[in-house]
Every structure is written in structure tokens, then in C-alpha cells.
Amino acid sequence: MEVNGTATILSSAVLAVEYVEALLPANPLQQPLNQAWDHMLQRYTKFQIATWGSLIVHEFIYFLFCLPGFLFQFLPFMQKYKIQQDKPETWEKQWKCFKMLLFNHFCIQLPLICGTYYFTEFFNIPYDWDSMPRWSYILAQCFGCAVIEDTWHYFLHRIMHHRSIYKYIHKVHHEFTSPFGMQAEYAHPLETLILGAGFFIGIMVFCNHVVLLWAWVTFRLLETIDVHSGYDIPMNPLHLIPFYAGARFHDFHHMNFVGNYSSTFTWWDRLLNTDAQYIKHQKKVKEH
């Protein structure tokens, strides 16, 4: 009976999504996107799309999302939104971060990206336009991936803060007590592999089209660069996501080193009381 009830709820949700989509006006970009996608499939092999396409998406999206935070340091009127105003960015730190990023991206992440094609072949993941899920389902899948990744990140991240192993791996990421966007993937190679595994678990659960790989990497990069930005920007659309942590939440983790271990959401820290110091800190800030 319970199974039937759950199935009914899921069916109703699907019908509701389809009904809302039917009410929306036709997307004028759909036809050009369809043609561009078909052109890509005709011109490149699946291996090239999965490997080099994924690398290009990652690099382009990463540095594109880093650009606003990089420019903020030169805009005086944005400094009122900087969380740790007494610790400005320096060229020395940013250059050091950039060099580490290049190493991680091309010596650690690129070999992993090379396995994307074999993953899609093994699980028969389609590439064609007609099999592509609707945008609403892609968003729902990205949310599901975020929930899985956040859970993995919380517990593995918390373990990395244990005093017996912290100085060997995670200390590298904490070289900057006042984070900036480009520092989001500044980490020890082992940390890149360990915490990065959470990214792929959601893909293994939800992936039914290659486009989800690119949608999920876009969402994940947007989120991690935002929480490392060092700026608490008002009217940030990401704060519309329920239980979203945000820059101020994660900035405290870099400043305090203890607590606020989650990557995207706040519920694990709240449930396990690892945000207690952050809550006290926020109360003191409000009192002053």
C-alpha cells in the first residue's frame, strides 16, 4: 500500500511538471541549440565530446565563474560585501593558487576526465538530442547529485580535519584563511581525488544523458566558487535553494578551521551540531 502511495505521488509530480512546462511559452533557443548539438555530434566522435568537451566545459566554466570575484578586489564599492575585510587578496597568493590549479586540472583531473567516454559506453549513456531530458528533470538530477555529494563531502571533510591526518592533506586547502573564488579547487592532489569522488557518485546514480555531466559540473563549480568567493553578495539567487550554505557559512570554516564541514547545504552541520561555533559567532556579530 505504501509503495503504491509513493508511486502515485511520484506520478503526480511528473504530471505537474509536464503541466507547468506545457503552460510555458516555447523556448526560442531550442531550435538553434538542437542544430548546434547535432552539428557537434556529426563533427566529433563520442570520445572527443566526452573527453575534450568535458575538459573545455570545466576550464571555461571554472575561470568564468572566478572572474567576478577576481574583479571585485579592484572595485571599492564591492569591499563592503567582503566578509573578512582585514585580509585582502594579494598577487602572490593568487599566482600561487593559479599554478596549483593548473597542476590539479591537467595532471589529476584530466586523467579522470579521460575515463568519461568509457563510463558512458559501459552504462549506455546516450548523446543524441532526442534522448536529452527536459531542463526541469536536469535541474532535479543536479539537486539529487548535490545532496549525495554534500553528504560525502561532510563526512570525508570532517575526517580530514582529524589532527592525525590534517597536516598531511587538508592543510594545503587551508593555507588561505580568507578564501577567494579561484581557491575553490586549490587542494592537495589526494584531497582532489578523495573529496572529488563525491562528484561522481551522483553521476553514477542519476546520469541518463551526457548533458547531465556538463550540467552537474556547471552547478557544482558555481556553488563551490560562490562559497569560496569571500563576498556575501545580497540578492544572490543561489540563496533561493533551500538550506544553501553560502559564502558566509564556508568563510567561517576557513577562518575558524573547526565546524561548518558541509559543501552545499547546512543540514548535516545542524543535525550533528558542528555549526555551534558559527551560530555563536553570528550572534556576536549581530550584537555589535
Does residue 25 lie within any of the structural domains?
Answer: no
Contact by Cβ (8 Å): 75, 141: no
pLDDT per residue as tens digits for the range 73-118: 999 999 999 999 888 888 999 999 999 999 999 999 999 999 999 9
Does residue 197 lie within any of the structural domains?
Answer: yes
Does residue 180 lie within any of the structural domains?
Answer: yes
Does residue 151 lie within any of the structural domains?
Answer: yes
The per-residue pLDDT of the chain, averaged, comes to 89
Does residue 84 lie within any of the structural domains?
Answer: no
Contact by Cβ (8 Å): 268, 251: no
Cell 523556448 belongs to: 27
Mean pLDDT by 10 residues, the chain (288 residues): 46 53 62 91 96 96 95 93 90 94 94 94 94 90 95 97 94 92 94 94 93 96 96 91 94 93 96 95 83
Does residue 250 lie within any of the structural domains?
Answer: yes
Q: Which domain holds residue 185?
A: 50-70+91-287
Structural domain count, the chain: 1
Does residue 1 lie within any of the structural domains?
Answer: no
Amino acid present at 274: T
Does residue 168 lie within any of the structural domains?
Answer: yes
Position 10 scores a pLDDT of 41
Cell 505504501 belongs to: 2
Contact by Cβ (8 Å): 261, 160: no
* Residues ≥6 apart with Cβ < 8 Å to 102: none
pLDDT per residue as tens digits for the range 244-263: 999 999 999 999 989 999 99
Angle at alpha carbon of residue 59, lines to 73 and 92, rounded to 5°: 40
